[in-house]
Structure 1
């Protein structure tokens, strides 16, 4: 028989196993860098080392900011400040609510000459606040200009740098002069992990239906483990209670040990056993009669 100490230890082992599974299979429930198992952390560390980015782990303030960001649409400045100050990975479970909101945010990133432009930089038609002294710089960048009150006027929408074009020194100087910052979707700067593995953009851009499917698969796996281990979580409590109750009833009936919920079952069982016993006795008497016992003896038992 298991003593209390062994039972407590067994329950702890069950809990550890279950929580480990919960953490490694959760989707949209936990922030992994707060609750990842060692294997997943090792995979992420290896990936971070390869791409030379910082692995932010257990940053409680940042986790709080993200949760705030997801739930109340606040904390933007903290979030954007963190993004602009670091080359890093935000490690999140694939929570569609957070991802969609992050996808709407634009952040400023540094732009250097000699780099390939990731987008078109368009100079809109209209007046500017730039002095006409900079006319030569515009012309060197093949941008036609006019003058209006000693300021440069742009007669037509003009592309300064095309997407994929190398930013030369003159165009870089012009972009700085115009204060045109490269705006990048925050989602493109954030790296996501799922089950400890780096998630592709196709997963990140997936539909709500796919997220729901992935969540359901994870949930049912945890649900199944909970039932096998006998460790209750909210969705399995009723099942485990009914299972335990059935086991108690079975043991009570098998051992003929009366408890309140099995009292009527035991009465039926005893009545059934008594009838079987009487039938066997009757059969024994009939067999005995055929071996030469008197009819009076048989009648005596029948009347009894």
Structure 2
């Protein structure tokens, strides 16, 4: 799944002014790559990436202004193709009339920015890469626990939302309940958020829908969070052997990213919120280089070696 981005979205989200080509503001932007048509200004259009957003900085504009009128018209007409989503002119530079005419004729929007070229490229690229990031949705609950994004999964009715409610009561922050929208922003980064329709809402069986932000305040919710740990809740299975030391690290793959995963068996009397809270703290400790399970294993090995030496 991928978002559809149109040129009008840039006008709505950035400090840009439409100078020409109003007919084309609904054109679709299909890539996050931004082109600076420097070589094209010399007349070489063989490899012109016309489907990209074009950005004219001080260098390109200065070269363009030094051309003859015939050359300016030629370059302007070739820049403005039927698929070019837009031309951004940075640094508050004046847009030449010849370029305005070509843009109006072909329906290519010209967007004017007062910002420096590098700043414009950086902000537009970040925005487009976030929009075009691979996207999926997972059934679960996402909570920010001590700065760790914990995705709680499990079968329907196992107690995910009730556990999230207890975590919110303990001072942690809800990101999403029931459906978590996930986008891969980098090769190893997953960002989760809630669908707009159910943002800040929790469904508790017996109570119905509750608004977490209204009940617990603005500090109890977050709009989005990087997912670092997955906790899978499952009903206690007497025949299954559960990890008692924590030496076996399980993982779960979402899109291209593998995340550490812990399976917690659910049965009456277990305080799941506290267990998940401790799992998040333990995850933070491991990232700092402290692994209690490995320390215990080493201590046990040392003790066994010591006993063996004494027996010998």
On whether the aligned pair clears a TM of 0.5, the verdict is no
Larger radius of gyration: 1
Report the structure, 1 or 2, having the larger strand content. 2
TM-score (norm: length of structure 2) = 0.21
Which structure carries more relative contact order (alpha carbon 8 Å, separation 6+)? Answer: 1
Q: Is the helix fraction higher in 1 or 2?
A: 1
